């Protein structure tokens, strides 16, 4: 405990450091203030039409199937369809029916929709020959808002990693690491002391952000806390690994960058691009950040069925990497190479 | 003057080499290229799958979009992803079963699509207006994003880490009494960062877009890469002079990397537009980079004027900060 106090004293002087831990909190507040209206459109099929270019009937029918944007001229419409960041399908009048425009670089989903849209339109008046059972899924409708929130929370957790890595590297550069290695200290107490502040900082920052912008039912607070704690622990541990492997600041920062890309990018990427339940999505769950990200998304979306699984994955990561780190460090000390 | 500058260049080059700067840039290049070639190029999203439970064999199907299942349970399990649609023909009244995706329009379309897929609707006609295939678009898009990320990260970090090292070694103090102009001190660092960033940009582009396409977009890409590299390097310079140690800098860097670039990426990837985004300078830099990759470089003179002005202003600020630091160091 006493040693931890020293660590804390060492950090406390660093105002900037404390500020950065608080930054996710500020982002959380900002997200809370942004209204959810802007976030609706993602996930819908988007259609582009000409102003007054379609019959009223067709316009109403299109609006039932996706979001519709209007353009003044055909060239503006073509430009919007060709815009590489959109998956927009252009819809034009074709004497009673409709015809579609596509830029050719869309996902298969939108290609098939564009190909079949005119035929679907032709049978718009026919009644669906099935009894329609749509099981409602309780969901947060601000899909993208919760995505931004989850990114903020995962970043908050990741702060611990950066903090620890930088802490160890600067100790190495100042020579404190050499002193540490002759102190009578077990590997476990070294690990505990080194990562405690990172965990506490990461957890505190995540919890405060979560309190500000997420409403989680009381029954799930426990599992949410467990998820946050485990993720913060793993990220702090990642910081230890980076500190262990890097010789200098420069190398360390590059490792942090790579870890950040590998940690933050895949879950977000797979969440946006790959439908739930596919192999890639399943694989990305194996990454610790994937598990915490999806766990958070599920918590935010209100379906905690798989939360247990995610916590298990995180737990497994925590155990495996801790053991790995302890063994690795022990070996290095035994072979006489100091840090 | 020329000789002194050459020696400064040599010194900074050695410093970068010893910091494994080039090795790490090469590592990033390999990491990105492998990711693009083996993962991102294959990114796709299939049309909503339709599952059919039809024990009495009422419906014959031959289309690839429909999959038969043996039991009602399997049908419900297949639809649990909230993406697929299921059709149950076991009872007298056929039933369409699906889990809501959360968006009414998508549910509406999925219902209509399931019906159409079962009726074996033929593939229709669509007019293609663009020139990119999906693969090429993916390549251009992700290369632009990686380059943007890498440039805003490496230029920034590279220069800052170099300067921190020099600060620690007392080089700045020594420079204060040397007859070398402060501009030369900044210039030699900028030159190295610019050269390495441009090489990186060229390699990344040619490797991931292929030689013929890569070469056609390269001039426009290099212009944008140069602008971004200089801007970020100068910001890194300012931060490195202003902040007392590298740990603080790295945390600040993390914040910049995540919170400044994330909204930009989201807007670029999903075509979302927020009203305030046009006041975000990184957004304009990113969009110019992206349009350079898609063969339609930004032509607005105002954009270039602002960029050049920004670089000039940052340079002046860096010069002033350096002067102040030297005075402080005695």
CA dihedral sign, ordered B22, B24, B30, B32: negative
Where does the pLDDT of residue B122 fall: very low under 50, low under 70, confident under 90, or very high at 90 and above?
low
Mutate to test the interface with A, among B32, B103, B166, B290 (most CBs of A within 10 A): B103
Residue A253 tokens, joined: 């920062």
CB contact under 8 Å between B115 and A256, yes or no, is no
Would you tell me which residues 92-111 of chain A have a C-beta closer than 8 angstroms to some C-beta of chain B? 99-109, 111
Residues of A in contact with B23 (CB under 8 A): none
Q: Does A174 contact chain B (CB < 8 Å)?
A: no
Would you say B154 and B197 are in contact if contact means Cβ atoms under 8 Å apart? yes
User: How long a stretch of residues is chain B?
Assistant: 330
In chain A, whose CA is at the least distance from the CA of B23? A251
Q: So what's the pLDDT on residue A338?
A: 46
Residue A138's pLDDT is 59
pLDDT digits (tens, 9 = 90+) for B15-33: 777 767 777 788 888 888 8
Interface of A with B in 184-213 (CB under 8 A): none
**For the packed helices B211-242 and B182-209, what is the interaxial angle rounded to 10 degrees?**
150
User: Chain B interface, mutation test: which of A254, A263, A269, most B Cβ atoms within 10 Å?
Assistant: A254
C-alpha distance from B1 to closest chain A C-alpha (Å): 31
**Section B56-65 average pLDDT:** 78
What are B135-183's pLDDT values in tens digits?
A: 888 888 889 988 988 887 666 777 777 787 777 777 777 777 777 777 8
Closest-approach residue (CA) in chain B for A143: B102
Confidence check: pLDDT of B132 > 90? no
Lowest-confidence range among A295-309, B212-226, B294-308? A295-309
Q: What is the pLDDT of residues B225-282, one digit of tens each?
A: 999 999 988 888 888 887 776 666 766 776 676 667 767 776 766 666 666 777 778 8
Report chain B's terminal Cα–Cα distance, integer Å. 24
Q: Which residues of B touch A143 (CB under 8 A)?
A: 102
Q: Check CB contact of A220 with chain B, cutoff 8 Å.
A: no
Full DSSP string of A13-47: T-HHHHHHHHHHHHHHHHHHHS-GGGGTTTTS-EE
CA–CA distances in Å: residue B264 to residues A94, A172, B257, B268, B282: 38, 36, 11, 6, 7
Number of H helices, E strands in chain A: 13, 5
Spatial separation of the C-alpha atoms in residues B294 and B282, rounded to whole Å: 18
Give the rounded percent of residues in chain B with a pLDDT score beyond 90: 12
* Averaged confidence pLDDT in chain B: 81
What is the predicted pLDDT for the residue at B81?
73
Residue B216 has pLDDT above 80, yes or no: yes
In whole angstroms, give the CA distance from residue A84 to residue A89. 12
- How far CA A151 is from CA of A257, A293, B27, B190, in Å, comes to 16, 8, 26, 33
- Cβ atoms of residues A69 and A49 within 8 Å: yes
Quick one: pLDDT at residue B57? 78
| Confidence band, pLDDT 50/70/90 cuts, at residue B206 | very high
**pLDDT of amino acid A37:** 44
Nearest-neighbour CA in chain B from A274: distance (Å): 7
Higher pLDDT, A318 or B58: A318
Q: Write the pLDDT tens digit of every residue in A47-68.
A: 888 888 888 888 888 888 888 8
- The sign of the torsion formed by the CA atoms of A197, A202, A203, A209 equals positive
Query: Among A104, A154, A266, A298, which would you mutate to test the B interface (most chain B Cβ atoms within 10 Å of its Cβ)?
Result: A104
Written as one string, the DSSP assignment of A242-272 is HHHH-SSHHHHHHHHHHHHHHHHHHHHHHHH
CATH topology of domain A41-122: D-Maltodextrin-Binding Protein; domain 2 (3.40.190)
Of A10-14, A52-56, B74-78, B220-224, the poorest mean pLDDT is in A10-14
Q: For chain A, what are the domain ranges?
A: 2-35+142-334, 41-122
Cβ atoms of residues B255 and A158 within 8 Å: no
Is B103:A43 a contact under the CB 8 Å cutoff?
Answer: yes
- pLDDT given for residue B199 in this prediction: 92
Q: CB under 8 Å to A119, separation ≥6 — which residues?
A: B116, B121, B122, B124
A12: contact with B, CB 8 A cutoff:
no
State the pLDDT at residue A13: 65
Residue given tokens 């920052």 in the structure block: A205
Residue A111's SS3 state is: helix
User: CB atoms < 10 A from the CB of B250, how many?
Assistant: 26
pLDDT at B315: 92
Choose among A109, A139, A166: nearest Cβ to B47. A109
Query: In chain A, which residues have pLDDT < 70?
Result: 1-3, 7, 10-20, 33-43, 137-145, 185, 187, 250, 272-278, 332-339
How far is the C-alpha of B314 from the C-alpha of B301, rounded, in Å?
Answer: 20
Beta-strand pair A97-102/B50-53:
unpaired
ipTM metric: 0.76
pLDDT of residue A203: 85
Pick from A284, A266, A196, A172: nearest CA to A6: A196
């Amino acid at each position: 405990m006493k040693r931890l106090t020293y660590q804390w004293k060492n950090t406390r002087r660093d105002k900037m450091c404390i500020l950065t831990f608080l930054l996710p909190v500020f982002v959380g507040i900002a997200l809370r203030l942004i209204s959810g209206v802007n976030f609706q459109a993602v996930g819908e099929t988007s259609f582009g039409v000409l102003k007054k270019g379609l019959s009223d009937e067709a316009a109403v029918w299109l609006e039932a199937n996706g979001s519709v944007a209007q353009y003044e001229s055909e060239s503006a419409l073509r430009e919007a369809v060709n815009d590489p960041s959109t998956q927009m399908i252009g819809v034009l009048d074709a004497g009673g029916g409709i015809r579609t425009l596509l830029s050719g670089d869309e996902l298969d989903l939108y290609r098939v929709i564009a190909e079949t849209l005119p035929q679907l339109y032709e049978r718009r008046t026919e009644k669906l020959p099935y009894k329609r059972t749509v099981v409602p899924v309780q969901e947060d409708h601000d899909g993208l808002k919760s995505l931004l929130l989850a990114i903020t929370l995962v970043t908050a957790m990741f702060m611990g990693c950066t903090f620890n890595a930088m802490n160890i590297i600067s100790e190495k550069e100042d020579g404190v690491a050499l002193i540490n290695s002759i102190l009578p200290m077990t590997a476990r107490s070294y690990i505990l002391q080194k990562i405690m502040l990172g965990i506490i900082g990461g957890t505190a920052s995540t919890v405060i952000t979560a309190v500000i912008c997420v409403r989680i039912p009381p029954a799930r607070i426990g599992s949410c806390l467990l998820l946050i704690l485990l993720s913060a622990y793993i990220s702090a541990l990642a910081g230890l690994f980076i500190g262990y492997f890097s010789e200098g600041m420069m190398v360390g920062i590059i490792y942090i960058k790579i870890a950040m890309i590998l940690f933050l990018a895949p879950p977000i990427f797979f969440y946006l691009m790959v439908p739930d339940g596919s192999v890639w999505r399943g694989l990305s769950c194996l990454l610790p950040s994937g598990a915490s990200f999806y766990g958070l998304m599920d918590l935010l979306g209100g379906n905690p069925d798989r939360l247990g699984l995610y916590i298990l994955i995180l737990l497994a990561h925590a155990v495996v990497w801790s053991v790995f780190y302890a063994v690795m460090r022990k070996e290095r000390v035994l072979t006489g190479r100091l840090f | 003057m020329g000789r002194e500058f050459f020696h400064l260049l040599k010194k900074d080059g050695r410093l970068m080499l010893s910091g494994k700067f080039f090795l790490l840039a090469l590592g990033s290049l390999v990491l990105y290229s492998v990711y693009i070639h083996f993962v991102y190029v294959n990114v796709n999203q299939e049309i909503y799958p339709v599952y059919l439970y039809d024990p009495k064999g009422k419906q014959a199907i031959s289309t690839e979009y429909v999959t038969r299942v043996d039991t009602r349970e399997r049908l419900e399990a297949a639809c649990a992803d909230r993406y697929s649609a299921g059709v149950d023909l076991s009872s007298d009244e056929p039933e369409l079963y699906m889990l809501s995706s959360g968006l009414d329009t998508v549910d509406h379309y999925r219902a209509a699509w399931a019906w159409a897929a079962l009726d074996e609707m033929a593939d229709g006609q669509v007019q293609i207006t663009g020139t990119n295939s999906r693969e090429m678009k993916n390549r251009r898009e992700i290369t632009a994003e990686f380059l943007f990320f890498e440039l805003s990260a490496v230029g920034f970090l590279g220069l800052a880490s170099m300067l921190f090292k020099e600060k620690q070694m007392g080089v700045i103090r020594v420079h204060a009494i040397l007859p070398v102009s402060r501009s030369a001190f900044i210039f030699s660092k900028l030159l190295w960062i610019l050269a390495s960033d441009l090489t990186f940009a060229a390699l990344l582009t040619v490797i991931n877009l292929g030689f013929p396409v890569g070469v056609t977009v390269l001039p426009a890409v290099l212009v944008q890469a140069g602008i971004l590299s200089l801007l970020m390097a100068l910001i890194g310079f300012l931060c490195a002079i202003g902040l007392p140690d590298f740990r603080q800098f790295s945390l600040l860097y993390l914040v910049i990397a995540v919170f400044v670039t994330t909204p930009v990426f989201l807007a670029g990837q999903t075509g979302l537009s927020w009203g305030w985004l046009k006041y975000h300078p990184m957004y304009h830099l990113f969009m110019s980079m992206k349009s350079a990759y898609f063969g339609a470089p930004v032509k607005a003179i105002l954009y270039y004027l602002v960029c050049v002005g920004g670089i000039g202003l940052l340079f002046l600020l860096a010069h002033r900060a350096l002067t102040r630091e030297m005075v402080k160091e005695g």
